[in-house]
Amino acid sequence: MQCPRCSSHHISRNGKRHDRVQGYKCSDCKKQFCERTGTFMYRKRFPELAIRIAIFFNLFISSKIVELFMFFLFRVRVSNSTICKWTRQFLDLLPEIYQKHYPKKLFLILHGDEKFIKVKGSKDDFAYWWSVIDCLGNLIATIITESRDLESAKKLFKKVKESIDKKVDMLVRDGLQAYNKAGKIFGRQCKQVVTGIKGKFIMNGKDLLFINNNRSESLNARIDDFMKRFRDCFENIESANRWRKAFMFTTHLQKWFATQKLLKASPAGKTPLEWVGLPALQV
């Protein structure tokens, strides 16, 4: 631990606060601080465990239900507006990019799509939710923009390129013309395939592949279920981006739990994805 003001390591204990949090004092700058200083939990009068549980459940269910749950579990009275405030502060700290590591021999296929959503206060009260998912079911990147143009597609693919450590072999998308130029970010060797739910056969060297965009359509259906909580409309573009990050975080969390569950049931010496017949992948 170091001083948040001067970064000095010459600190000493300075008693405990009323909420039983250990206090410290810097010997150089004489500043008093605690373990929560400069963190998300700073100046929170509720226990850290209660706050974390409230935020976690609010990512999946309504804050009013979480309010009742907190009362029956911890016997604390906290309003739903306070729970929403905690959640907003937590979502603002979430990262935009989740790194994915792929094996070198994997033929990487990405599925990209965009869908229409309602957002109050934006241009014409609507926006577009862009998303990219890989062939293994991992959500790579998402953005929300007010326009459906080339700049938005480039922004999406730049975020994808920052998230993965392997070249993209194939990009499956719809017929939007903006993807033609934006897809060049992945290089000339990346093959772009325009298809939908029905799919089509294509030749990849000597191999005949059947390619469809069902993964993107399934992801859009999950986004629709997620937006029912907000009555299919966000209050503003900031709120839309905040809860977009929440959707991506919960998606990665569910993927991680599923992998851990397979890990306990898988034979020794094999990763969960190898056990089900897929290449090894860190989730």
Q: Where are the domains of the chain?
A: 1-43, 46-93, 109-274
Give the helix/strand (H/E) hosting 109. strand 109-119
Cβ atoms of residues 207 and 226 within 8 Å: no
139-185 pLDDT, tens digit per residue, is: 999 999 999 999 999 999 999 999 998 999 999 999 999 999 999 99
Q: What is the pTM of this model?
A: 0.81
The backbone region for 204, taken as left when phi is positive above 0, alpha when psi lies in -120 to 50, beta otherwise, is: beta
83-141 pLDDT, tens digit per residue, is: 999 999 889 988 888 889 899 889 999 999 999 999 998 878 899 999 999 999 999 99
Report residue 281's pLDDT band, with 50, 70 and 90 as the boundaries. Answer: very low
The backbone region for 158, taken as left when phi is positive above 0, alpha when psi lies in -120 to 50, beta otherwise, is: alpha
Residue of 93, 135, 83, 95 lying closest to 112 (CA atoms): 135
Q: At what angle do helices 80-92 and 48-58 cross, to 10 degrees?
A: 80
- Give the CATH number of domain 109-274; options: 3.40.190.10, 1.10.10.60, 3.30.420.10, 3.40.50.1820: 3.30.420.10
66-85 pLDDT, tens digit per residue, is: 999 999 988 888 999 999 99
Alpha-carbon span 13 to 23, nearest angstrom: 6
**Per-residue tokens: 133:** 């998912």
